[in-house]
Amino acid sequence: MFSTALASPLLAAAAPAVTLFPKTSNVYGRAQPTRDNGVARYLGILNTTSECQDACLAYSGADGTLCHSFSFHHIDFPDANFAGHCYAVADHSWDPHSPSEGIDSGRVAWPMKTCGSGSADGCEWMVDPVCLADGEDVYPQVSMTVSDAEQLCASMDECVGFGYHGAKNTTEAVDVVFKGKSDIVRGGGSGCWSHRKYFPLTRDPYRTAFHFQPSSSWMNDPNGCMLHKGLYHLFWQWNPSAVVGFADMHWGHAVSKDLLHWTELPIALYPDTGSCGGEWSGSATVDAPQGVVLSYSVQCNNYFGQALPVNRSDPLLVNWTANHVVGHKAPGTGGFRDPSSAWLGADGVWRQLLACSGAACLYNSSDFETWSFAGHAAGPAQGATWEMPDLFPLGNGLEFLKVGMSDGTDYWTTGTFDESRDVFLVNANVDELGNKTQIMDFGMFYSSKSFADPHASSYRMIGWVGEEGGPVREWSGIQSIPRTVSVDPENIGRVLFTPIPEVDGLRGEPTTLDQAVLDPRTSTPIDISGLQLDLVAEFLGPFVVDDEFGIGVFAKAGQESSLNATIRVCADGWGELSLGAHSGMFLLPQHGALKLRLLVDRSIVEAFAGDGRGVVTARAYPGAGSDKVRLLNRGTGPVSVRFVGYPMRAAKPITEEALRLEVEAPRVLV
């Protein structure tokens, strides 16, 4: 039985020295604290998770235990009538008999102290009773004291945390494992303690300067992207109260005049009883009969709906109404979500694509209010769900089609949509969706979405860039630099992905190298440094197979780079672009220099090769002083290069009030 002596936080002893981080939530394993091993203390029926957090902070048990996490067994949503039982969790354990039930817990991590010399500025240790996941070891297991382990991990950029078994406050030597990822164990174990590098928002060296990310918490897919009355709108999948994803999904909302300087607005769509768990991904249509319409999917995959602006005259479109169900899942379609922007055919029929099992499903409508399944526009209709379909005109009579597949990769193809058969016909010069040479980005880039604009001469896309290890922070995930999609003039049917030209406006004074020869197997420092950079190298041919060259970033003075972007020349006109652990094949340009451009922004690097024929994105978390740049030649012969590099200014956000003054100001007639 649980003790009920502490039924109210008002009866608690003085608060222990703990720190609460409500923006980072944790699930301890996949079960509840057991009722017979003394790991939990009952605090009572409280109204909200915030009250449970306060009670945990104030808790001090008669046996000397302190509360370093809590369990609140009902959510305080949609109102206080959903109050639940609150437990103070005083140790780390799971009940093997209920592996499917998790503890919904805010984090109380204790104690907190600085990481020590050698670590990135602002780093603290988050100490909590969880096991770290196996793998990702960055140092052999060693027996040492916790204090020595903190110093060693702090001195290694690649170490983001360490774990051990034993007492929390032990001063004896323990077996320590050092990790390159701070993922916690989700399926059992006990007696673990982890020390993880942690960065609060106010002291975070990895928060980007010119990529979009919300104020805090978890973000994934871009949604509802559009250009409307001169403003770009970006919605996104958001869990605003935690850094764990695919739960409690809202639609965040931001607007921008240039896709760089963003104004974050109030949440557009909330989970509710009609969304069966959360508002999942979707798109915008700006020329619908009703005007601007958001099409969204729901967590249970049963239907898709529409949201409309409350005030169509508001240039920022801040407020939305949802719960307009317009189409239902057809039998045999499997995973069912992610409606695309809709388009009006020459036959007067509205069409839009949805994700379903092994295909892009097609739904048609005559009035935009009731939608019916019309078959599979692309794909074999077997296998894993083809997520986030997108279709738009590319020019030269071509249309662009992309989907996300189960390997976490966005694939593209080109062709034409045949209205008479309601299918997409692939161009003869390219392959079907899923071909490895038709990948939009070889790295950490997924769920991309175009900005709906029926009057666009060229389309722009943006994609979700998740985390790739790294320390614990109060946010997770960013959006890529928006990219223009255009026809490859040298290869009919293929496309180029290039950064939007507005990015150039953030450049500072250039550092140039008119022309130099890089000796074989060398790494040459360049006189530019920083964590916000735009770097362009033009390698001059002729080349031979297995020539390999590139740019290294995040280097310390006198040391090799910790992240390298390279191009390797392959046979038959192909090249391989690599960035860290990610790589893929692209067609080399037939004429001129071979260009490699890197956009570096604190914890993300995006590499564009051959004028956008190959693209790769990676996350990295460099330590203090890791801001140097090097030119690389890994081949057996010399290579000539021209280089220019720019420091990049931050794209500072604009307040809603300031933006309204700009867009609502009356025109002055001259």
Please check whether residues 164 and 258 belong to one and the same domain: no
Nearest to 116 by CA among 36, 230, 195, 44: 195
Cis peptide before 78 (omega within 30 of 0): yes
Query: 580 and 563 in contact (C-beta within 8 Å)?
Result: yes
Position 181 pLDDT exceeds 60: yes
Q: What is the pLDDT of residue 666?
A: 61
Position 168 pLDDT exceeds 90: no
Please check whether residues 346 and 293 belong to one and the same domain: yes
Torsional sign, CA 176, 178, 182, 188 = negative
Supply the DSSP string of 306-341, one letter for each residue: EEEES-TT-TT---EEEEEEEEEPPTT--S-B----
Spell 61-90 as b/e; 16+ CB within 10 A means b: beeebbbbbbbbeeebeeeeeebbebbbbb
Position 36 pLDDT exceeds 80: no
Range of the domain at 543: 508-647
Please check whether residues 386 and 325 belong to one and the same domain: yes
Cis peptide before 111 (omega within 30 of 0): yes
The residue out of 110, 126, 149 marking a domain boundary is: 110
Give tens-digit pLDDT for 306-332.
Answer: 999 999 999 999 999 987 899 999 998
Mean pLDDT for the chain? Answer: 85
Q: What is the pLDDT of residue 74?
A: 53
Residue 657 resides in a domain: no
Residue 128 resides in a domain: yes
Rounded to whole angstroms, how far apart are CA atoms 42 and 228?
A: 53
Q: What is the pLDDT of residue 598?
A: 99
- Which residue reads 């390797």 in tokens? 568
Please check whether residues 464 and 531 belong to one and the same domain: no
Residue 190 resides in a domain: yes
The DSSP call for residue 8 is S
Q: What is the pLDDT of residue 41?
A: 62
Q: What is the pLDDT of residue 98?
A: 35
Give tens-digit pLDDT for 70-117.
Answer: 666 554 444 455 556 666 665 433 333 333 333 333 334 444 678 876
Q: What is the pLDDT of residue 72?
A: 61
Give tens-digit pLDDT for 286-300.
Answer: 999 999 999 999 988
Give tens-digit pLDDT for 429-439.
Answer: 999 999 999 99
The average pLDDT across 377-392 equals 97
Structural domains counted in the chain:
4
Amino acid type, 297: S
Give tens-digit pLDDT for 537-591.
Answer: 999 989 999 999 999 999 999 999 999 999 999 999 999 999 999 999 999 999 9
Least confident of 2-16, 230-244, 291-305: 2-16
Give tens-digit pLDDT for 638-662.
Answer: 999 999 999 999 999 999 999 999 9
Position 123 pLDDT exceeds 70: yes
Rounded to whole angstroms, how far apart are CA atoms 362 and 396?
A: 24
Please check whether residues 67 and 129 belong to one and the same domain: no
Q: What is the pLDDT of residue 418?
A: 98
Q: What is the pLDDT of residue 34?
A: 35
- The CATH number covering residue 440 comes to 2.115.10.20
- The CATH number covering residue 604 comes to 2.60.120.560
Cβ neighbours of 431 (radius 10 Å): 14
* Cβ neighbourhood burial of 488 (10 Å; 0-12, 13-18, 19+): middle
Amino acid type, 110: W
Q: H-helix or E-strand containing 659?
A: helix 656-664
352: its two tokens: 């839009």
Nearest to 544 by CA among 571, 583, 577: 571
Please check whether residues 222 and 181 belong to one and the same domain: no
Amino acid type, 574: W
The residue out of 176, 204, 232 marking a domain boundary is: 204
Query: 329 and 303 in contact (C-beta within 8 Å)?
Result: yes
Q: What is the pLDDT of residue 73?
A: 56
Residue 656 resides in a domain: no
Residues contacting residue 167 through CB under 8 Å, at least 6 positions apart: none
191: its two tokens: 């007696």
Rounded to whole angstroms, how far apart are CA atoms 45 and 81?
A: 11
Quick one: pLDDT band at residue 157, thresholds 50, 70, 90?
confident
Query: 540 and 640 in contact (C-beta within 8 Å)?
Result: yes
- The CATH number covering residue 164 comes to 3.50.4
The backbone torsions φ and ψ at residue 558, rounded to the nearest 5 degrees and listed phi first, read 80, 5
Give tens-digit pLDDT for 252-275.
Answer: 999 999 999 999 999 999 887 666
Please check whether residues 272 and 369 belong to one and the same domain: yes
CA atoms within 13 A on the CB side of 533: 27
Q: What is the pLDDT of residue 14?
A: 35
Identify the residue with better confidence: 278 or 187.
278
Quick one: pLDDT band at residue 155, thresholds 50, 70, 90?
confident
Least confident of 11-25, 55-69, 113-127: 11-25
Torsional sign, CA 345, 347, 348, 351 = negative
The backbone torsions φ and ψ at residue 316, rounded to the nearest 5 degrees and listed phi first, read -90, -10
Residues contacting residue 184 through CB under 8 Å, at least 6 positions apart: 26, 28, 130, 131, 132, 133, 194
Please check whether residues 544 and 571 belong to one and the same domain: yes
Position 15 pLDDT exceeds 70: no
Q: What is the pLDDT of residue 320?
A: 95
C-alpha distances (whole Å) from 643 to each of 520, 532, 669 are 18, 17, 46
Position 38 pLDDT exceeds 70: no
Nearest to 628 by CA among 549, 558, 565: 558
> E-assigned strands of 73-136?
84-89, 105-109, 112-114, 124-128
Residues contacting residue 314 through CB under 8 Å, at least 6 positions apart: none
32: its two tokens: 């509840």
Q: H-helix or E-strand containing 16?
A: none
Please check whether residues 185 and 233 belong to one and the same domain: no
Supply the DSSP string of 246-282, one letter for each residue: SSS-EEEEEEESSSSSEEEEEEEE---TTTTT-EEEE
Quick one: pLDDT band at residue 188, thresholds 50, 70, 90?
very low
Q: What is the pLDDT of residue 67?
A: 64
The residue out of 204, 227, 243 marking a domain boundary is: 204
91: its two tokens: 């140790």
The average pLDDT across 114-135 equals 76
Rounded to whole angstroms, how far apart are CA atoms 298 and 12?
A: 42
The DSSP call for residue 132 is B
Please check whether residues 237 and 338 belong to one and the same domain: yes
Please check whether residues 296 and 409 belong to one and the same domain: yes
Amino acid type, 284: A
Residue 548 resides in a domain: yes
Residue 48 resides in a domain: yes
Position 531 pLDDT exceeds 50: yes
66: its two tokens: 């302190």
Q: Kindly state the percentage of the chain with pLDDT values over 90.
A: 66
Instruction: Round the CA-based radius of gyration of the chain to a whole number and report it.
Output: 27
The average pLDDT across 197-212 equals 91
The average pLDDT across 593-617 equals 98
Rounded to whole angstroms, how far apart are CA atoms 611 and 547?
A: 19
Query: 156 and 622 in contact (C-beta within 8 Å)?
Result: no
Torsional sign, CA 306, 327, 374, 386 = positive
Quick one: pLDDT band at residue 623, thresholds 50, 70, 90?
confident
Residue 660 resides in a domain: no
The average pLDDT across 460-489 equals 95
Residues contacting residue 572 through CB under 8 Å, at least 6 positions apart: none
Most confident of 233-247, 290-304, 310-324, 437-451: 437-451
Rounded to whole angstroms, how far apart are CA atoms 339 and 342?
A: 8
Please check whether residues 182 and 256 belong to one and the same domain: no
Residue 665 resides in a domain: no
The average pLDDT across 178-189 equals 73
The average pLDDT across 243-259 equals 91
